[in-house]
Amino acid sequence: MNDPAIEAMRDTLIEAACAVRANAYVPYSHYAVGAAILMDDGRIFTGVNIENASYGGTVCAERTAVFKAVSEGARQIRAIAVCTANGVAPCGLCRQVLAEFASPEQDPPVWMVDEAGMIRETTLFALLPDSFGPQHLHQD
Ligand code: THU
Question: DSSP readout, 16-36?
Answer: HHHHHGGG-B-TTT----EEE
Convert the pLDDT of each residue in 84-137 to its tens digit: 999 999 999 999 999 999 999 999 999 999 989 989 999 999 999 999 999 899
Ligand 1 atom nearest residue 28's Cα:
12
Nearest CA among 43, 49, 127 for reference residue 77: 43
The pTM (predicted TM-score) of the whole model is: 0.96
In 8-118, beta strands by DSSP E? 34-39, 44-48, 77-83, 109-113
Convert the pLDDT of each residue in 11-34 to its tens digit: 999 999 999 999 999 999 999 999
Instruction: Supply the pLDDT for residue 139.
Output: 66
Cβ atoms within 10 Å of 6's Cβ, excluding its own: 17
Q: How far is CA 130 from the centre of its chain?
A: 19
Residue 89 CA to ligand 1 centre (angstroms): 10
